[in-house]
Structure 1
């Protein structure tokens, strides 16, 4: 303030509640992103929305394969914040200036990984290179499957699906770790289980979830619908 004044506080401050911020859980085969001060924003235009499915996770990669930007796609779209290399650290933790940006997609419902080829909006930074404090918009995306992440091709059966919240799981050989994520990539349930078993999502909102079943033979991914 440059002149005398007063501050008015809201009444009943003791009743103000704090809501814990949403934490993104990395369920991809990629490294965790190290967030740095220098960034490049990449938006996905409305016309690209039909390319993706809710729950898809989009990553941006340096030319050495480091994931330096990651976001879960929702029905409202997605925007990537790419991290530049922090000169104050000894390791490379992001893009360097003028480095080519590569994109990939991980689909939790199937465990598939896709390579993304993109076109940029010519009215913004459309070089395809990382620039500090810059912004780009992607107007077109082409996907090509490149791998399946350790999928366990057993006889796992999850039913009923859709369900009001109770899902039965059969066909898991031995012990398994069960992890369930919502459409935003947030972990909502974790448990150890031996087949046959059951998971209970009756306390969760209706919508789409993804289950990851991890055994010594690999991983099984499947989409669950709570109706």
Structure 2
């Protein structure tokens, strides 16, 4: 019964605050060599495995989804024949997101198109894999009409729609003979309604107690184990973090504006009202 009530509350929050904003990052205003980018007020970090991915610039070397542009993310200089299965992760801690599509240029160690390879796309939330799919066909083999870029459409990836899944990390891993990857026109959704989807709300076997709620600032968190908590605004922005010890711990949100916040750990989430 308690779980059903919690899901109902989250459903109300979804309908009350729904304000999804779709944005496309084209990297044209990002600094060359940067390992992060900012779009629609959200900072994304780019995390690399095997090869190193950064913002790069080549005249007419990118693709904004309609025409060639200049800046993109790639692993130039580290795309060698030995560096197999490199991956690029796009991750944020300030706002959860959904992904509609992105464009990827996929080549061998010399950047040549037409190699046989694979692309695995994985979405994660708080370190938990929410989906993973491997694309094995349909890659652009010549510059042609898309400047050599392949559309990765999350609304129809291997026949499935992953564009409505809330994540905080998108990981793209190239396999087979692919060694070089450029990424451009990253289209994503900033969902200002909640920081977790209803089916991502979990609870401990014994419920954590938070009081008073509503609060003018001070709150007590009574938990059954040492737990790290994060507080998000209803716009999905991380505004405060703190560690609670087993038993009763004190926290204070007096410095935050009045409104609705989400107190979130790795396994549960609670709505807090600041008066």
TM-score range, shorter chain: 0.3 to 0.5
Q: Whose RCO is larger (CA < 8 A, sep 6+)?
A: 2
Greater helix proportion: 2
Q: TM-score when scaled to structure 1? A: 0.43
Q: TM-score when scaled to structure 2? A: 0.36
